[in-house]
Amino acid sequence: MHQEKHFQSSELIRDMIIGVADGLTVPFALAAGLSGAAVASSLITTAGLAEIAAGSIAMGLGGYLAGVTDGQHYQSELQREHDEIREFPEKEKEEVAEILTAFGLSPSSSQIVVKELSQDKDKWVNFMMRFELGLEEPDKSQAGRSALTIGLSYIVGGLIPLAPYFFTQSSERGLMISFSLTVLALFLFGALKSKAMQQPVLSGALKVVMIGILAAVAAFGIARWVA
């Protein structure tokens, strides 16, 4: 039997990517910058943990607000479509016919569908929301899930570059281990992300690695120059 393979759970994957990507990059750059300033490992771990806590909360809150905004936008457009159908039904019918014609239906077939569809205002509105505006009704619980997923993913990602500093008193040695560990994590993360998105794995992984390295090098160089 034929089975269609489509990308599923896109919101979950998207939120995990956002959280892990920033979690790996920002604390990595912070630790590299503090190492460049020859700060003690204990201070780097303290500052790193504080950044991870603040960053996970800020990123999670951002995901929550984005989800709430999507829901509010959908409801606003939904009400607008109801009003337009009530006040300008003929014009809305013309728009339905234009959409159907664009999909390849003949004018006569389009008019039959328009007549049937306009009998049910809720289905009519849903049709316009999807095919005129390209909007799908957001899951009401998505905002909370996004906040939790992004926040936790940020923490997981952030602990990877910070972990080596817990086990060494030398910030230079901590940086070398952190660099190796984080580059490996960035490569694996980039590869998995690219595979999940059905994109070239190697090039996608290398792009993620380069972004992380550039951020860390910039932070290290500025800190060393200022110090």
pLDDT at 67: 87
Angle at 43 between CA 175 and CA 169, to 5 degrees: 55
Residue in 164, 41, 215 with CA at minimum distance from that of residue 207: 215
pLDDT at 9: 53
Q: What percentage of the chain's residues is helix, strand, coil (to nearest 5)?
A: 85, 0, 15
pLDDT at 88: 84
DSSP conformation class of 158: H
Burial class (CB in 10 A: 0-12, 13-18, 19+), 171: buried
Residues 182/211, Cβ–Cβ less than 8 Å: no
pLDDT at 4: 46
pLDDT at 227: 59
Rounded Cα distance between 16 and 147, Å, is 10
pLDDT at 92: 85
pLDDT at 3: 47
What backbone phi and psi angles, to 5 degrees, belong to 12?
-65, -50
Q: Half-sphere exposure (CA, 13 Å, Cβ side) for 94?
A: 5
Angle at 66 between CA 62 and CA 71, to 5 degrees: 150
Helix (H) or strand (E) holding 150: helix 142-162
What residues in the chain have per-residue pLDDT under 50? 2-8
Which residues have CB under 8 Å from 77's CB, separation 6+?
A: 129, 133, 135
Which residues have CB under 8 Å from 177's CB, separation 6+?
A: 164, 168
Q: What is the pLDDT of residues 129-139, one digit of tens each?
A: 888 888 788 88
DSSP conformation class of 38: T
Residues 154/189, Cβ–Cβ less than 8 Å: no
Rounded Cα distance between 170 and 177, Å, is 11
Tokens in use for 144?
Answer: 């909370």
Rounded Cα distance between 30 and 46, Å, is 11
